[in-house]
Structure 1
């Protein structure tokens, strides 16, 4: 991936040079002018130095076609600048105004079953609509020309959460664009027929005009058609981003451009590893997913954001101070979680901490979504926590611009494997790619490891151990890179349903795991998925679910690390490890869960000579994350528990902490849900 050469770190060009950026989405159009004055006063009190402005304001800025009202936005821009608050200005194209969809209903998206998605919510537009594109780019140009010289403008924010609600459109516009995308990719219908294997079920095409998106069908749609449509949908939204970006660059070439990714949960429609090189700095939105592993998921997503940013600083554009509004049950955060969650993102490279939103709305669909300034006002625990976090971020000013610290272990994350492994008509519909990747991450954190999460095109040679869970789609180039990694001394771990297909979703023949069969020294004839609730026992004490394989050892130096004790493959290998060159390749044929994976990883890490720098007494209770500056190293220590933890055996001076333990002022105590940052000399 590559970034447009701006300054080494755009934050240093702002008026708060040397400070972490801190703020929120700001929606002054929802409030009267006297409230704006109160807002900037309280923003200054809280330490806010940046806001994202104008995200959903198209109908205000352009109340009718070609007629613009900038008076209120001029006033807000000036007011913010006067109070030292910079603006990440949105292009306002996330949701079209009612007049546009009333005049041009053909811009509305269509779902897989042919149903139109009507106005009344947000993002009701087709990524491939030429009509929408024309109106949107006109607005972008007018905005750029009006604010090109405004001293408060520090960045452009294209649209908002592109694809959050409209990633999959099956309209006629989408069908035409899909055909053009396919023609560019394959050149001829004959080549497409070969790649899509259209002789199956008499799907052979004779003309481009016959090809459609994979709409609601009588039976399972063609798998490669589904894969290409996933790629196309990601590319269509990326193309819209590029179109807005190029208008902005033509008018304001020195102002960086970004858009907020959604690296969290199941927002899998956009291949963000592919998008990362298109933005001037990576931005992400993340909302905590409640449950026993909520903190690990947050950390995993932040690590993945840092991974696709190439280890460079990035921007946390949105997260929540407390409850959200869109789950079935929306619980507030516990004391300490607001600061802890924010600092976990900073630990993984965020140089900006922002929330949705500044002032909690009193009406509309998100009125019960938390904000920096809640309905209760400034005399509230939430606002006191917001002020306190502003002070903590001030203490962390020296961290600004530092990059990801060295990790010896990485988890690979691959969007195409995520897409394809969860397609229909597979050995099981119970497979959850992201959950498996998170299991491995959690197990490594339990062992006290510093862990990166990186896309498959990341340089592997910087790591000693690489985990590739459910690496289902393996093109030749990736297979060769993994072979070189192991031969050069790296230690690879992969799992069930890996190496199975190439980039066209064609099965690699000769036995599973296909592209990785020789490297692993094993061969599998048939998959053995398990029913929901079914499990098998391993002879190392672990329990397997979801999947089993009947493994045949075919290579030299293949070691059996564990065997099945029960199930159809009792007595046969369940986990294997093969020495290859100066490295090794390990295969795990069942879903083990976090506890079971700790056993496997203990063996792999020991044989690779990789040891946690965290004292043994802290492993499992505290997660270490490292940022590295030119002169200093920053250890972020995150309490994963609900109890205070005594910090012992650590080197470094305390730089900042999220809170002190309730019943102790001792610097050595890390409170429940707390974070402490230690500063030391580089390695």
Structure 2
């Protein structure tokens, strides 16, 4: 990592968005800079999709328009996150080299005419992308506007898996590095099943379309390889930038949300000078603001607790959902400040000016089609004012007593084919447990299973289907050290090779939990069970046996497993380990969460607020702290004590749909 601060030369909370001046004439570009100053913009991403303009034909370059744009921005005091311009190859490149186009599992070649029309493992593509990156670095590395390098764009967004011959060759190299010998590969993949034994690595293919279900470990390793190969491509471009411009920090925009599955972002974090994320709410979700908070906490978790960047979100509607609803009054401001509340030190949008042409022309922007006499523009200006007012929070951090354990390989493994139930959804359970904590105004860290868990009072482990011995021991150690640990169904079932841990489920957690499940009992669609306290459950149940010393807290009251354990608790060292063997309804999960919080001694960030109000605290090393109160409800709520830095408030209350950011205390005395 570079030691340079990020982004260079921007004070307070960075504010802006993607800026695509190549779509507009000079007069509009001049107006853009004036309006950016009016809105309080301090940072824009430039050049993301500009390769075809910068190199209209092979070896012929036109940098004049970009020189002019960067000069104008620098003169206005606006900094730039400059892209490598490699997010999509220009048409001449795919015409000359169709062999760099990506391929799907069924052999379909994905053609040009969209974006990301490249296979990340292609040596041809890599050479061209590295060359373009070097041109950008050498030309603009000392430009006064340059604050940050933006490598490519949303790597893996549209092509997380490529099944081409280039990918097959790269996959074989990855496997040889991982296993060393083909015998070790055969053991890991269990190839004695279905006559799949390999004699050489050359016989191995990606998991392409086949007559029936594919080898699950092959699928799992291909997911690992694909995430790693995208990271290898990022590193190749990043290394050029560090060579030419070691003084400039580097990042790429990740896509952390509960819907983005195929990149293991925890494995990317050490390669980013700052973690940057793109996030978009789903209009059809009534709890979109809760999913946003979880994704923001995941971003902070990938950043290791450090501040991070929100590089893209939307001012209003997007263009790619089935029904693209505009955001309600105040929603854009609350969403933006929620990211800051959960650790972001930059708030940026796609995009600055709404496009007049192209497939994203109906995607909202900071400056909409209708111009400045609009609520969207007024919101853009208001947000800029609010971010300037709270600039002092930059660099502060969120502190939590609760850890939610998140693991991408466990997600990949849990949702492979040929499992007990297709209704098991990793992200749905993560969100359900997070929502129960969010509604109780409890701050949450989202961490990988290998993270240091020693400082947490409550550790929640939903559906950790795949787990290594070391990670299982890490979770057990947290309980022994005094934490309350909750493990839910379909956890600890397999090792890192997707081999079942024999002797009874939940495998790796059997001793910790003091239970042994002899049979998994998936429920049919629409089937429900009742527990002995009247709670309802669905999707899943198990034939569980509790060991001596394990308390059966709840039992199944009906169905085939009536009288059997549904929820257990075992004292472990100075802590406790709970096991939940079914999917509870929301009310029952909320009641369980409250019991766990009480046992663990975890307090809410603030007492006395209704469930629809989000409250988060950020703290600085010098003792200062700031409280974010975001009112997603339809009724005003009382303001807590503190100096209001920014907000939509009246009469000592946070308005319905409003927000407040308060400074809680002065720096502690030396």
Report the TM-score, using the length of structure 2 for normalisation. Answer: 0.98
Contact 1:519 1:585 in 2 (8 A): yes
The 5-angstrom pairing of residues 457-472 of structure 1 reads 457-472=450-465
How many angstroms apart in 1 are the aligned matches of 2:443 and 2:427? Answer: 19
How many angstroms apart in 2 are the aligned matches of 1:309 and 1:599? Answer: 31
Match of 1:249 in 2: 242
Match of 1:401 among 376, 395, 412: 395
Give the C-alpha shift of residue 293 in structure 1.
Answer: 1.2
Match of 2:6 in 1: 10
The 5-angstrom pairing of residues 308-387 of structure 1 reads 308-387=302-381
Match of 1:666 among 647, 651, 656: 651
Match of 1:627 in 2: 618
- Extract structure 1 runs of 4+ deviating beyond 4 A: none
Q: What SS does the corresponding residue of 1:102 show, helix, strand or coil?
A: helix
Match of 1:678 in 2: 662
Give the C-alpha shift of residue 261 in structure 1.
Answer: 0.3
How many angstroms apart in 2 are the aligned matches of 1:257 and 1:666? Answer: 45
Q: Does 1:603 align with 2:588?
A: no
Gaps of 5+ in 1: none
How many angstroms apart in 2 are the aligned matches of 1:149 and 1:383? Answer: 33
Match of 2:542 in 1: 549
Match of 2:111 in 1: 118
Q: What SS does the corresponding residue of 1:515 show, helix, strand or coil?
A: helix
The 5-angstrom pairing of residues 554-573 of structure 1 reads 554-556=547-549, 558-573=550-565
The 5-angstrom pairing of residues 164-563 of structure 1 reads 164-290=157-283, 291-404=285-398, 406-556=399-549, 558-563=550-555
> What are the superposed Cα offsets for residues 18-52 of structure 1, whole Å, 9 maximum, x if unpaired?
x2100010000000000011100100000001100
How many angstroms apart in 1 are the aligned matches of 2:380 and 2:585? Answer: 36
Q: Does 1:612 align with 2:614?
A: no
Contact 2:366 2:377 in 1 (8 A): yes
Match of 2:14 in 1: 21
> What are the superposed Cα offsets for residues 90-144 of structure 1, whole Å, 9 maximum, x if unpaired?
0010100000000100000000000000011110100100000001101100110
Match of 2:86 among 90, 93, 100: 93
Gaps of 5+ in 2: none
Give the C-alpha shift of residue 619 in structure 1.
Answer: 4.2
Q: What SS does the corresponding residue of 2:120 show, helix, strand or coil?
A: coil
Give the C-alpha shift of residue 344 in structure 1.
Answer: 0.2
Give the C-alpha shift of residue 555 in structure 1.
Answer: 4.0
> What are the superposed Cα offsets for residues 479-517 of structure 1, whole Å, 9 maximum, x if unpaired?
111121111111110100001011111110000000000
How many angstroms apart in 2 are the aligned matches of 1:211 and 1:415? Answer: 24
Give the C-alpha shift of residue 652 in structure 1.
Answer: 2.6
Match of 1:655 in 2: 645
Contact 2:102 2:110 in 1 (8 A): yes
Aligned residues: 665
Give the C-alpha shift of residue 365 in structure 1.
Answer: 0.3
Q: Does 1:82 align with 2:72?
A: no
How many angstroms apart in 2 are the aligned matches of 1:600 and 1:32? Answer: 59
Contact 2:2 2:249 in 1 (8 A): no
Contact 1:110 1:170 in 2 (8 A): yes
Give the C-alpha shift of residue 593 in structure 1.
Answer: 3.7
The 5-angstrom pairing of residues 34-45 of structure 1 reads 34-45=27-38
Give the C-alpha shift of residue 645 in structure 1.
Answer: 2.1
How many angstroms apart in 2 are the aligned matches of 1:74 and 1:499? Answer: 55
How many angstroms apart in 2 are the aligned matches of 1:438 and 1:330? Answer: 22
How many angstroms apart in 2 are the aligned matches of 1:55 and 1:133? Answer: 17
How many angstroms apart in 2 are the aligned matches of 1:292 and 1:638? Answer: 16
How many angstroms apart in 1 are the aligned matches of 2:617 and 2:263? Answer: 28
How many angstroms apart in 1 are the aligned matches of 2:535 and 2:638? Answer: 31
Match of 2:58 among 65, 89, 105: 65
How many angstroms apart in 2 are the aligned matches of 1:310 and 1:252? Answer: 25
Contact 1:520 1:555 in 2 (8 A): no
Give the C-alpha shift of residue 435 in structure 1.
Answer: 0.9
Match of 1:585 in 2: 577
Give the C-alpha shift of residue 450 in structure 1.
Answer: 1.6
Contact 2:2 2:248 in 1 (8 A): no
Give the C-alpha shift of residue 543 in structure 1.
Answer: 1.1
How many angstroms apart in 1 are the aligned matches of 2:368 and 2:124? Answer: 39
Q: What SS does the corresponding residue of 1:317 show, helix, strand or coil?
A: strand
Give the C-alpha shift of residue 651 in structure 1.
Answer: 3.7
How many angstroms apart in 2 are the aligned matches of 1:300 and 1:612? Answer: 17
Q: What SS does the corresponding residue of 2:445 show, helix, strand or coil?
A: strand
Contact 2:402 2:443 in 1 (8 A): yes
How many angstroms apart in 2 are the aligned matches of 1:368 and 1:265? Answer: 24
Give the C-alpha shift of residue 596 in structure 1.
Answer: 1.7
How many angstroms apart in 2 are the aligned matches of 1:593 and 1:469? Answer: 15
Contact 1:439 1:593 in 2 (8 A): no
Give the C-alpha shift of residue 458 in structure 1.
Answer: 2.1
Contact 2:2 2:247 in 1 (8 A): no
> What are the superposed Cα offsets for residues 266-293 of structure 1, whole Å, 9 maximum, x if unpaired?
2111100111111100000000112121
Bigger mean CA offset, 356-365 vs 638-647? 638-647
Report the TM-score, using the length of structure 1 for normalisation. Answer: 0.96
Match of 2:631 in 1: 639
Contact 2:546 2:552 in 1 (8 A): no
> What are the superposed Cα offsets for residues 298-352 of structure 1, whole Å, 9 maximum, x if unpaired?
0000011011111111110000000000011101000000100000000011111
Give the C-alpha shift of residue 5 in structure 1.
Answer: 4.8
Give the C-alpha shift of residue 613 in structure 1.
Answer: 4.1
- Seen in structure 2, the aligned counterparts of structure 1 residues 240 and 29 have a Cα distance that, compared at 3 Å, is same
Match of 2:151 among 146, 149, 158: 158
Match of 1:143 in 2: 136
Contact 1:540 1:562 in 2 (8 A): yes
Contact 1:51 1:88 in 2 (8 A): yes
Q: What SS does the corresponding residue of 1:460 show, helix, strand or coil?
A: coil
How many angstroms apart in 1 are the aligned matches of 2:478 and 2:508? Answer: 15
How many angstroms apart in 2 are the aligned matches of 1:428 and 1:330? Answer: 32
Q: What SS does the corresponding residue of 2:268 show, helix, strand or coil?
A: helix
How many angstroms apart in 2 are the aligned matches of 1:217 and 1:90? Answer: 39
Give the C-alpha shift of residue 456 in structure 1.
Answer: 2.0
> What are the superposed Cα offsets for residues 359-390 of structure 1, whole Å, 9 maximum, x if unpaired?
00011000000000000001111000100010
Give the C-alpha shift of residue 611 in structure 1.
Answer: 2.5
